[in-house]
């Protein structure tokens, strides 16, 4: 920079010939040229720019044309942000300080957002008045981005850590990713059997302009290549990273994470290292969820076996006792029918009572686990029929199809328990409703009321609540209660299922 300054014809600039420069300007120039820090001097009423070698980096494409230009010209796109600060220092002689301030500059052939900590300090002339401004700059972009990305990685890990299915991991992942201001949108696609399905998608709420999406063909190409690909959308302004990854070597499905990045950020090695960490966290969470599902299925089968044994014990202890007694009465009746009609009639009455008792106990055992309408028509029909039979005014909406009997039975009992609790505690005249929804192998049921509500944060859980939670947790599901005083209560059930 010293050579460029010496060789330049300054006589055509507001500074005049270099040999006529004032001593304060020359001293300031010597100071910045002999420093490795990013330093610059703005001199005179027009704030003519002089700078050292280190300052060429933040100037980017503006170097070397920026040398000797007025600050308003050099700082064109950010003049509105910093112009008043510069002119204020020249007018008042008071320094300024800005820390980690974002500025968008045209450099490296693009408009790039960068972060700087800088100070404007007055340079006093021979008359004791401010005649120039000393700029001391440190670019903090890497540190700011590093802290921002650590926050995103932490949010991603927190949101996906305890998810119990890959679908939940996908949904929580994209929500966490768009918390990074440099990620405009995120999508998670699953490629299986030649089909590309979007499993989850999210976008930043402050992204108002249209965002073109990458094609399914491009996603398929990334899977075939087996590596990260870059596509550009929105008139080639927005870079999109397509990153296929593996959750399980045994699964034929290939997830593909698509990130739509800010066009104000250069795709450097650091960006790719960051996105690889994101993919690694998502893959690890999905792998943990898959392991949980496998263990849940094993426990479900084990629980089903234990339940079958319990029913066998109930049948043996209760029904068989009644049937054995009925058989004995039958034998006694056969022997006295003709000789003692009165005693025979009494024995037949006893036999009838025992058979009725056995039938009632059998119905209780069967209905307690799996009502007949639930077995024949499914969950929604059984819930609707149960509320109608009890003459409860309940709105039942949605459909979930059929799934394995154990899950249908447990969800049925949990929903009925929640409805009963609503009518018990919500107050007179409240509305009660049930809404069912199914997405893939996840079933959701929402029981809500418009009643008096309660403080869910401080209220103790009753036996009914614990009963609902235990039913669902035994099958890998969840039960969440939300309530606000005066605004009603909602109970939301989620349960992983398998179709029939």
* CATH number of the domain that residue 69 is part of: 3.30.450.20
Q: Residue with structure tokens 């009746």?
A: 333
Give the residue from 115, 139, 163 where a domain finishes.
Answer: 139
The answer on 205 and 115 residing in a single domain is no
134 and 152, same domain (yes or no):
no
Which domain, by its residues, includes 162?
145-290
pLDDT band at 236 (very low <50, low <70, confident <90, very high): low
Pick the more confident residue, 119 or 364.
Answer: 119
Count CB atoms within 10 A of the CB of residue 56: 16
Q: What average pLDDT does the segment 454-463 reach?
A: 70
**Contact yes or no for 239/230 (Cβ under 8 A):** yes
pLDDT of 413: 83
CA-closest candidate to residue 42, choices 68, 63, 5, 20: 68
Place of tokens 């869910």: 456
The per-residue pLDDT for range 405-451, each reduced to its tens digit, is 888 888 988 898 888 888 878 777 788 999 999 988 899 999 999 88
State whether 158 and 209 are in the same domain.
yes
Q: Which domain-ending residue is among 349, 369, 389?
A: 369
Regarding whether 286 and 157 lie in a shared domain, the answer is yes
Please check the confidence at residue 487 and state whether its pLDDT lies above 70.
yes
The better pLDDT of the pair 384, 331 is held by 384
Confidence band, pLDDT 50/70/90 cuts, at residue 204: confident
How many structural domains does the chain have? 4
Q: What pLDDT digit, counting tens, does each position of 37-79 carry?
A: 999 999 999 999 999 999 988 887 888 999 999 999 988 888 8
Q: Same structural domain for residues 286 and 323?
A: no
Residue 357 has a pLDDT of: 59
Question: What pLDDT score was predicted for residue 385?
Answer: 86
- Give the DSSP per-residue string, 152-192: HHHHHHHHHTT--SHHHHHHHHHHHHTTSTTEEEEEEEEEE
The reply to whether 319 and 391 lie within a common domain is no
Please tell me the predicted confidence (pLDDT) of residue 364: 53
Q: Could you tell me which residue, 9 or 427, shows the higher pLDDT?
A: 9
**Amino acid 444: pLDDT:** 93
Query: Nearest 5°: CA angle at 166, between 161 and 170?
Result: 80
Q: Which of 139, 167, 191 is the last residue of a domain?
A: 139
Angle 253-255-259 from CA coordinates, rounded to 5°: 165
Q: In which band, very low, low, confident or very high, does the pLDDT at 365 lie, cut at 50, 70 and 90?
A: low
Return the pLDDT at 92. Answer: 93
Q: What is the model's pLDDT at position 193?
A: 80
Task: Please compute the mean of the pLDDT values over residues 465-473 and round it to a whole number.
Answer: 74
Query: Does the pLDDT value for residue 354 go beyond 60?
Result: no
Same domain, 81 and 152: no
pLDDT reported for residue 259:
92
pLDDT-derived band at 85 (thresholds 50, 70, 90) equals very high
pLDDT-wise least confident of 2-6, 44-48, 317-321, 389-393: 317-321
In the block, residue with structure tokens 């909406």: 397
pLDDT of residue 168: 87
pLDDT higher than threshold 60 for residue 26: yes
**What is the per-residue pLDDT across 238-288, written as a single tens digit (0 to 9) for each?**
888 999 998 876 678 899 999 998 877 777 766 788 888 999 999 888 888
Do residues 470 and 413 both lie within one domain?
yes
What CATH number is attached to the domain comprising 171?
A: 3.30.450.40
Q: Kindly state the average pLDDT of the residues 154-177.
A: 88
How many residues can be counted in the chain? 500
286-324 burial, b at 16+ Cβ within 10 Å, e below that, comes to bebbbebbeebeeebeeeeeeeeeeeeebeeebbeebee
Scanning 66-109, the segments in alpha helix (DSSP H) are 71-74, 79-92
Task: Report the C-alpha gap between 15 and 495 in whole angstroms.
Answer: 76
- Digit-coded pLDDT (tens) for 133-159: 999 999 898 899 999 999 999 999 998
93 and 220 both lie in a single domain = no
Q: How far apart are CA 317 and CA 331, in angstroms?
A: 22
Q: According to the model, what pLDDT value does residue 380 have?
A: 93
Say if residue 158 is in the same domain as residue 122. no
Tell me the CATH number at 467: 3.30.565.10
Per-residue CA distances from 450 to 228, 246, 299, 429, 494 (Å): 50, 46, 37, 9, 22
Same domain, 9 and 133: yes
| Pair of tokens at residue 111 | 């408009």
pLDDT tens-digit profile of 308-328?
666 655 555 455 545 555 555
Whole-number Cα distances in Å, 421 to 25, 211, 435: 83, 46, 16
pLDDT of residue 114: 86
Mean pLDDT value across residues 366-382: 76
Structure-model confidence comparison of residues 462 and 432, the more confident one: 432
Kindly state the tokens that stand for 242: 């397509």
Q: How far, in Å, are 29, 52, 74, 110, 428 from residue 67 at the CA level?
A: 13, 10, 9, 20, 80
Question: What is the model's pLDDT at position 356?
Answer: 61
- Look up residue 445 and give its DSSP letter: E
For all residues of the chain together, what is the average pLDDT?
A: 82
Asked if residue 444 and residue 424 are part of one domain, the reply reads yes
Half-sphere exposure of 388 toward its Cβ, with a 13 Å CA cutoff?
Answer: 7
pLDDT of res. 311: 60
Across the chain, which distance is largest between two alpha carbons, in Å?
147
């Amino acid at each position: 920079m010293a050579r460029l300054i010496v060789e330049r014809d300054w006589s055509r600039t507001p500074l005049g010939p270099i040999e006529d420069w004032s001593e304060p300007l020359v001293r300031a120039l010597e100071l910045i040229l002999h420093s490795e820090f990013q330093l610059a001097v703005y001199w005179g009423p027009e704030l003519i720019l002089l700078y050292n070698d280190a300052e060429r980096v933040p100037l980017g494409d503006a170097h070397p044309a920026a040398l000797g230009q007025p600050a308003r010209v050099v700082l064109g796109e950010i003049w509105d942000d910093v112009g008043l600060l510069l002119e204020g220092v020249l007018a008042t002689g008071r320094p300024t300080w800005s820390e980690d301030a974002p500025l968008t500059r045209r450099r490296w052939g693009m408009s790039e957002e960068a972060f700087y900590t800088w100070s404007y300090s007055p340079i006093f002339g021979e008359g004791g008045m401010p005649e120039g401004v000393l700029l001391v700059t440190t670019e903090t972009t890497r540190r700011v981005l590093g802290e921002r990305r650590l926050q995103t990685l932490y949010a991603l890990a927190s949101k996906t850590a305890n998810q119990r299915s890959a679908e939940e991991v996908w949904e929580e992942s994209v929500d966490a990713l768009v918390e990074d201001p440099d990620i405009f949108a995120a999508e998670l696609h699953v490629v299986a059997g030649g089909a590309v399905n979007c499993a989850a998608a999210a976008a930043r709420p402050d992204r108002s302009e249209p965002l073109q999406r990458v094609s399914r063909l491009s996603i398929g190409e990334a899977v075939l290549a087996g590596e990260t690909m870059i596509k550009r959308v929105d008139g080639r302004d927005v870079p999109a990273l397509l990153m296929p990854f593996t959750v399980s070597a045994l699964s034929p499905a290939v997830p593909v994470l698509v990130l739509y990045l800010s066009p104000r950020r250069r795709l450097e090695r650091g960006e790719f290292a960051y996105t690889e960490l994101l993919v690694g966290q998502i893959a690890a969470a999905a792998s943990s969820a898959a392991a949980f599902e496998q263990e849940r299925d094993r426990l479900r089968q084990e629980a089903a076996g234990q339940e079958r044994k319990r029913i066998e014990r109930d049948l043996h202890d209760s029904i068989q006792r009644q049937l054995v007694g009925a058989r004995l009465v039958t034998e006694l009746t056969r022997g006295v029918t003709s000789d003692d009609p009165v005693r025979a009639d009494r024995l037949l009455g006893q036999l009838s009572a025992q058979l009725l008792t056995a039938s009632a106990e059998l119905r209780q055992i069967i209905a307690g686990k799996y009502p007949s309408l639930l077995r024949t028509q499914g969950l929604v029909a059984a819930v609707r029929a149960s509320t109608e039979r009890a003459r409860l005014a309940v709105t039942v909406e949605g459909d979930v199809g059929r799934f394995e009997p154990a899950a249908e039975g447990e969800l049925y009992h949990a929903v009925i328990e929640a409805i009963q609790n609503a009518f018990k505690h919500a107050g007179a005249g409240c509305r009660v409703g049930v809404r069912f929804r199914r997405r893939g192998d996840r079933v959701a049921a929402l029981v809500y009321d418009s009643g008096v509500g309660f403080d869910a944060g401080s209220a103790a859980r009753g036996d009914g609540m614990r009963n609902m939670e235990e039913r669902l947790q035994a099958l890998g599901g969840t039960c969440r209660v939300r309530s606000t005083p005066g605004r009603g209560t909602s109970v939301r059930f989620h349960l992983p299922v398998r179709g029939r």
